[in-house]
Amino acid sequence: MRIAIVGGGYVGLVSGACLAAHGHDIVIVESDLGKVQSINQGNCPIFEAGLPELLAKTVGKTLKATDTIEDAVTISDATFIAVGTPFDGTSIDLTQIEQAAKDIGRALKKTSAYHLVVVKSTVVPGTTDNTVASLLEQTSGKKLGTDFGLGMNPEFLREGTAVEDFMTPDRIVLGGNDARAQNKLTQIYDCFADTDKVRVNNTTAEMIKYASNSLLATLISFSNEIGNLCSELPDTDVTSVLAGVCLDKRLSPIMPNGERVTPDITSYLAAGCGFGGSCFPKDVNALRKFSQQQGVKPSVLDAVINTNKLQPEQFVALLTDSMPELQGKTVAVLGLAFKPGTDDTRESPAIAVIQQLLKNDAQVVVYDPIVTTLPSEVPSSSNISIAKNLNEATKQADAILLVTAWDEFLALADVLNAQKRQPLVVDGRRVLTAGDFQHYRGIGLGPQTQNNGPDDDKSNKPDSNVASAA
Ligand code: UGA
């Protein structure tokens, strides 16, 4: 099928390249001319595993980019809207969605065949059937259901594994204003014959997306709350607690052959220094706001957000508990990306952690294997610098805070051993082995021994929750 995709960002580009690889004729509409050029030259404008290879396979054959929406829509059978819906602190900003709907509507005026418009962006329930539908009707002069159809097809891609997620989907949600729209949308995904399809109305499709992300965010905040409690309990470790929880056969089923299956969902049952990214914080906040507008008190979502907001503080408190005075101390922050495998720093807990360290007058050295510039939210200060590698970041550090679980950081013990130094290590992802360090503290690790930190007046306090090397 000929498909236009409005928005050449991470969702639009990945979806476009994957659908193009499946033989659809895709035109990506992007207002950023640099991006258009880059795509048409086969250069991948974002850091995403597998995407450069897909572009190399499809550009010039079944995939191209343009900045002219009218041309793209009029030669296509369907148009996806994959533009951003940023959260402005109160509600999601629909400016780009509205603009796309108007532009598509104006283009539809010039066509005679039935056209399917599909919202792929994450939008609050009702947006597709209300805002998008009426803008399309107004600007096209055409009638929904007769002249064009309207679908809602949320994406479930994770940054870093987006191509793999698209190519091996766990479900495809096919929202439509009527059976005709649903059938046409289903046809686009015929190439995924074995995947479970959920055919629903548009509002249900919108809700599925928000509910899915909110569930995952809830698991993380739940784990963090349990972790914060474990931090107060002698000889208790949240990783053992949650490992025990996950062995519930309803979370990790035992197959008839006796083998245990460990579904991915259990990886969200882990304590850390909080969730971030462009999706969870925005989507949970937007659903919470939407719920309030409907007169339904979002108690669980409130708690998920509040726990997450406090988590970077809980993490830094592990440091200040051992090292109360940070002025004159050098603190290395390992990781800027909101999770490993991406260069995205949006809503990364690292930002809140760094802000707090600077507020406490620490000298901060940051290192991330992929991100080499500080996010704009970090205030410019002579007290912060970026290191080029793990050794450089840690060689002067009095304390090291691990914020992002990059594999490279698993070498920290070796790096410190080579330096013959044993600064305090605070593990915000619980990926390090406590026994590898002389002074170790971890999120969700209860008071264990007396050894509290390298150089402060609280060391040897019996209530410290530092695990000391055996
Ligand atoms: C998330 C969802 O997982 C996708 O299904 C969804 O399509 C996407 O949002 C979206 O709405 O576009 P993403 O934000 O890329 O994807 O990241 P995740 O890998 O889910 O990570 C989100 C947060 O969960 C991160 O802060 C990460 O540290 C945490 N996380 C991730 C875990 O705690 N455990 C994991 O195993 C993975």
What pLDDT shows up at residue 47? 85
- Kindly state whether residues 104 and 252 are assigned to the same domain: no
CA-only gyration radius of the chain, Å: 25
pLDDT digits (tens, 9 = 90+) for 389-399: 999 999 999 99
The tokens of 311 are what? 């988590």
- Give me the pLDDT at residue 448, please: 76
Averaged confidence pLDDT in the chain? 94
Which residue in 18, 230, 273, 279 is the catalytic one? 279
Q: Residue 156: CB within 6 Å of ligand 1?
A: yes
Q: Stretch 404-419: mean pLDDT, rounded? A: 98
Distance 158 CA to ligand 1 centre (A): 6
Q: At 470, is the pLDDT very low, low, confident or very high (cuts 50, 70, 90)?
A: very low
End-to-end alpha-carbon separation of the chain, Å? 63
CA gap 78, 1 in Å, rounded: 8
Active-site residue, 191 included? no
Q: Evaluate if residue 36 carries a pLDDT over 80.
A: yes
> Where does a domain end: 200, 229, 262?
200
Mutate to test the pocket of ligand 1, among 51, 157, 214 (most ligand atoms within 8 A of CB): 157
Cα 135 to averaged position of ligand 1 atoms, centre (Å): 32
Alpha carbon 433 to its chain's center: 26
pLDDT digits (tens, 9 = 90+) for 42-89: 999 988 899 999 999 999 999 999 999 999 999 999 999 999 999 887
Residue with tokens 């009527």: 178
Please indicate whether residue 275, judged by its CB atom, sits closer than 6 Å to ligand 1. yes
Which CATH number covers residue 370?
3.40.50.720
Q: Is the CB of 154 under 6 A from ligand 1?
A: no
> Which CA distances in Å does 467 have to 258, 325, 326, 329, 435?
35, 21, 21, 22, 7
Q: Which domain holds residue 410?
A: 202-470
User: Residues 262, 282: one domain?
Assistant: yes
Instruction: Give the CA distances from residue 19 to residues 167, 377, 397, 400, 465, in Å, rounded to whole numbers and listed in that order.
Output: 9, 35, 48, 44, 51
Boundary (domain end) residue, out of 168, 200, 232: 200
Q: What is the pLDDT of residues 214-271, one digit of tens each?
A: 999 999 999 999 999 999 999 999 999 999 999 999 999 999 999 999 999 999 999 9
Q: Are strands 424-427 and 399-402 parallel, antiparallel or unpaired?
A: parallel
How far apart are the CA of 171 and the centre of ligand 1, in A? Answer: 16
At 438-462, the pLDDT tens digits run 999 999 999 874 444 444 433 333 3
* The model's pTM: 0.92
Span from the CA of 372 to the centroid of ligand 1 (angstroms): 22
Three-class SS of 20-50: HHCCCEEEEECCCHHHHHHHHCCCCCCCCCC
Q: Which of 171, 200, 229 is where one domain is finished?
A: 200
Both 191 and 240 in one domain: the answer is no
Tokens of 102: 């108007």
Please state the domain count of the chain: 2
